[in-house]
Amino acid sequence: LNEEAYKTRFEPAVTTDGHHVEVMANLTAAKGVEKAVELGCEGVGLFRSEFIYMDHPQEPTIEQQQAEYARVLDGLGEGKPLIVRTLDIGGDKPLPYMPMDEEENPFLGLRGIRLSLRYPRTLIHQLHALLRAAAGRPLRIMFPMVTDIQEWRDIKALFDQVVADYPDAQVELGIMIEVPSAAMMADIFAREVDFFSVGTNDLTQYALAIDRGHPELSRQADSIHPAVLRLIDTTVRAAQQHGIWVGVCGELASDPLGAAILTGLGVRELSMSTRAMARVKAHIRGFSLTQTKELAQRALAAENSAAVRALSVNREADHV
């Protein structure tokens, strides 16, 4: 199948009844963009901007940052959207030029947007770099670890100040849904943001209370757990009610069963490591949307991850 999948990597993931799921690339460095295009991405659904900061002994200049983002936009070309996630560090991932106290529970501490709001200058610089790199081209920006609507409003106020300098900016703003509170309050967020991107890695860690890097327990932190799926279902329903779309950029998007269930839940876009894209596309093409919806309903009703993994999966393509 893998060779077969590779051959059809530029064909979109369209179900047998004509429903299109966008398959996008996760990037951790600008230099990965050519490979992502060559492997059939329809855009970049998660550009982890951390590396730009980690690679420098002090905060990179706006010009240095701008060059990285421009490189990704140029590499993608017109019609392939780019979603950049703002700096997501803190706790276990320190930066020498950002003051951080040692914390007892870094995953529950000053990380992601919490850190950016504490030291907003860095975020403001990043937003300037992004808007300059876009130079009027469409761009999507999203913010990590948002927990409470007030955080979003604080970020939005910062963004509005910055964007006032760029009258031709074409930006959509989204938030990561990776904290259970954000999933549960998705209806509140959906009134104010343009899109959601579900980070199933952190969402699973926080929903199941299992450290995602734990040497012994992390295998139990399967994102296909119905508890996680129910949070995603809540998120998608809220989004649909308010006319915004939902993507998934955590590992679950690249899991064949996960991708099918997410499609059935109404997720529009799946973003994943570049080597998984062709396989996931080929897999989705074997289903009808109706089948994925039935599968999703059975998964939501299952008692735990093992029960979801044990579900029998009927692909229309496998019957003919």
Binding site for Mg ion (CB under 5 A): 178, 199, 202
Q: Is 81 in the site for ligand PEP (CB under 6 A)?
A: no
Binding segment (CB under 6 A) for ligand PEP, from list 8-16, 58-66, 196-204, 227-235: 196-204
Interaction pattern, residues 23-62, with ligand PEP; x per rule: CB under 6 A: -----------------------x-x--------------
Helix (H, G, I), strand (E, B), or coil: what is residue 54?
Answer: helix
Q: Is 200 in the site for ligand PEP (CB under 6 A)?
A: yes
Return the number of the residue (68 or 178) whose C-beta is nearest ligand PEP: 178
- Return the ∠ at Cα 200 (arms to 292 and 156), rounded to 5°: 110
Which of 42, 151, 202, 233 is in the footprint of ligand PEP by CB under 6 A? 202
Q: Is 199 in the site for ligand PEP (CB under 6 A)?
A: yes
CA–CA distance, 176 with 189 (Å, rounded to integer) = 11
Q: Which helix (H) or strand (E) holds 142?
A: strand 138-143
Tokens at 249, concatenated: 């950029």
Q: Is 249 in the site for ligand PEP (CB under 6 A)?
A: yes
In the complex, minimum distance from the CB of residue 58 to ligand PEP, in angstroms, rounded to a whole number: 23
Return the number of the residue (11 or 92) whose C-beta is nearest ligand PEP: 92
The type of residue at 273 is S
Q: Is 255 in the site for ligand PEP (CB under 6 A)?
A: no
Residues 6+ apart with CB under 8 A from 10: 40
In the complex, minimum distance from the CB of residue 106 to Mg ion, in angstroms, rounded to a whole number: 13
The secondary structure of 213-256 as a DSSP string is T-TTTGGG--TT-HHHHHHHHHHHHHHHHTT-EEEE-SGGGGSH
Which partner in ligand PEP, Mg ion, none is near 270 (CB below 5 to 8 A by kind)?
none
Which partner in Mg ion, ligand PEP, none is near 200 (CB below 5 to 8 A by kind)?
ligand PEP
Nearest alpha-carbon partner for 225 in 145, 302, 294, 313: 302
Residues 6+ apart with CB under 8 A from 150: none
Return the number of the residue (247 or 266) whose C-beta is nearest ligand PEP: 247
- Return the ∠ at Cα 228 (arms to 227 and 233), rounded to 5°: 100
User: How buried is 234 (Cβ within 10 angstroms: 0-12 exposed, 13-18 middle, 19+ buried)?
Assistant: middle
Return the number of the residue (41 or 175) whose C-beta is nearest Mg ion: 175
Which partner in ligand PEP, Mg ion, none is near 48 (CB below 5 to 8 A by kind)?
ligand PEP
Which partner in ligand PEP, Mg ion, none is near 260 (CB below 5 to 8 A by kind)?
none
Q: Segment 156-195, which members bind ligand PEP (CB under 6 A)?
A: 178
Q: Is the dihedral of CA 294, 300, 302, 307 positive or negative?
A: positive
Binding segment (CB under 6 A) for ligand PEP, from list 76-84, 129-137, 199-207, 276-284: 199-207
In the complex, minimum distance from the CB of residue 120 to ligand PEP, in angstroms, rounded to a whole number: 21
CB 175 within 8 Å of CB 196: yes
Return the number of the residue (68 or 202) whose C-beta is nearest Mg ion: 202
- The CA dihedral of 212, 214, 220, 226, to the nearest 10 degrees, is -30
Q: Is 247 in the site for ligand PEP (CB under 6 A)?
A: no
Q: Which helix (H) or strand (E) holds 85?
A: strand 82-85
- Chain residues binding ligand PEP by CB under 6 A are 46, 48, 88, 178, 199-202, 249-250
